[in-house]
Amino acid sequence: MSDPKVNKNLVWINTPFSLTKLDKQYTLLQQNILMVASIHLQKYVEEYFTEKRVLGDSRSDYLFEKGIEHAVMEIPPIIIDIKDFQVSTEFHNYKNLRDTLKNDILNLSVRVKMDNNTEKIQHVFSNIEIPTTQKGYTKSDGEKVERIKGEVILEIDPKLTMSLFDMRQGYIHHISMIAKYSKKVNTPRLYIYLLRQMGLDKCLDVKVEFLPMKQYLGLVELDEHGNILLDDKGEPVMNKYPKFSQFRKQVLDVVREDLNRMASRSETDIVFDEFSDEDFIYRNGKCKGDPEYIVFHIKRTDVGINHIGDKDADIARRLNEKINRSKGKKVSEDNMLQGDLFAHVYQNPDKKIEVDTTHGSEQWNQFVSMVHDDNQIALLKRCKFIGIKNDRFCVAASDYDFVALKTSGLERLAQEFFNCVGSFMPVFYRA
């Protein structure tokens, strides 16, 4: 394999999947606005991961809650440099920019699931402020022109804190400016959706239910049973591209070509193959109308392989080869790479997962044998192995020692042991 191409300008972020569930098809500018907002929320996402690792189930699954018993915190205002929006140069004055951003930002809405299993459409931002400076000027005709300060202040509707930042739905680790790099309106949405499905299926060939995917793209409205929503006259409330041949040509093929273009510019980490008829699966063997499922054959680009390859990939590979040799298995380099492919796509583990105390001792002993630092060895001796939880180690340890597991370098070594370098999924659970 040739050296992976690297786009040094790429920034990777973690966006809650719940934040990406827009209620309709939006422009690339609107999608970029949402991604930029997500960039400015990253420190809170990182704080969540840290607290979740240390506190476990005592930390709420909602981003802006500090604990299950605490009230929802107010989301701080998001201050964004106007240049980050990538708006056209034609918006050179305050009024044009204000009007454009007002329409594009304030009209952004998401689908949120209610307790009764129904979905509700709610606006993301409750307020937008574009500060001006004192250095305006007056035109020859007497018109006063305000100069903008160069930033936009956004406020997320506080009513959305629970549903919009529900980390139980997982998060997507993705290229931050994917909407900026895209030329086609459906590219960023399908890109996000496929990344999530890759994380769920743990493979490159993903089987996607057609109508829910089409709804996620904002191209059809479904009822609570997953069927196309009809009005009083029996007509679809919304169904763009009602013929599947249209959808295939104008959405799937267009996005595939757009991702290939971006791949040539090192601007995406995934692409997918051209479809064959076997990739469209119909109910009861029928081959007309909408398929029930679509199979995507996804490939990592050089950018994607390089991103998950990590500087310590060789160490991780050696550790896993050692483990597999002890099990009498020979794993090819391709299979080893396959195991690393989805390390960065996080799915929040089910809080109800039980600890399996019947096995795992051999794995624990193998892990301990690979530790050579005296302080780390002493720390592990103070911890008691309990069992396997969510395919990871569950241990009994004091508060101090459990925090030390995550700060002493052992967590990194355990990630390498489990072949999950780059994952935010815990490698140590506390009994």
Which DSSP letter does residue 284 get? G
- Exposure pattern of 148-169 as b/e (b: 16+ CB <10 Å)? bbeebebbbbeebbbbbbbbeb
**Cβ contact 190:219 at 8 Å:** no
Tokens representing 38 are 């997500």
For position 420, what pLDDT does the model report? 74
For position 255, what pLDDT does the model report? 98
Helical spans, DSSP H, in 204-301: 210-216, 244-247, 253-264
Helical spans, DSSP H, in 235-373: 244-247, 253-264, 302-309, 313-326, 333-340, 361-369
For position 328, what pLDDT does the model report? 52
User: 182-309: which CATH topology?
Assistant: Arc Repressor Mutant, subunit A (1.10.10)
pTM of the full predicted structure? Answer: 0.66
For position 143, what pLDDT does the model report? 66
For position 6, what pLDDT does the model report? 56
The Cα 20–Cα 112 span in angstroms is: 10
Tokens representing 142 are 């007497």
Q: Which residues contact 342 (CB under 8 A, 6 or more apart)?
A: 198, 199, 202
The Cα 294–Cα 215 span in angstroms is: 14
The Cα 384–Cα 394 span in angstroms is: 9
pLDDT tens per residue across all 431 residues of the chain: 334 455 557 888 888 887 888 878 888 888 888 888 888 788 877 777 777 777 777 777 777 665 444 444 566 788 877 777 655 544 445 566 677 777 788 788 877 766 666 667 778 888 888 777 666 666 667 666 666 667 888 888 766 666 677 777 778 889 988 998 999 999 999 999 999 998 877 788 999 999 999 999 999 988 777 788 888 887 888 899 999 999 999 999 999 999 999 999 999 999 999 999 999 999 877 778 899 999 999 999 988 888 875 433 333 334 344 444 444 544 444 333 333 333 334 344 444 578 888 889 999 999 998 888 888 898 899 999 999 988 889 999 887 788 788 777 888 888 888 877 655 567 888 88
Distances (CA, A) of 138 to 35, 52, 92, 143, 369: 36, 55, 15, 6, 76
* Radius of gyration for the alpha carbons in the chain, expressed in angstroms and rounded: 24
In the chain, the amino acid numbered 47 is E
**Cβ contact 51:206 at 8 Å:** no
Residue of 34, 13, 37, 307 whose CA lies nearest to 189: 34
SS3 169: helix
Q: Which residue has the tokens 């051209």?
A: 274
The Cα 305–Cα 280 span in angstroms is: 28
Helical spans, DSSP H, in 158-270: 161-164, 178-181, 187-201, 210-216, 244-247, 253-264
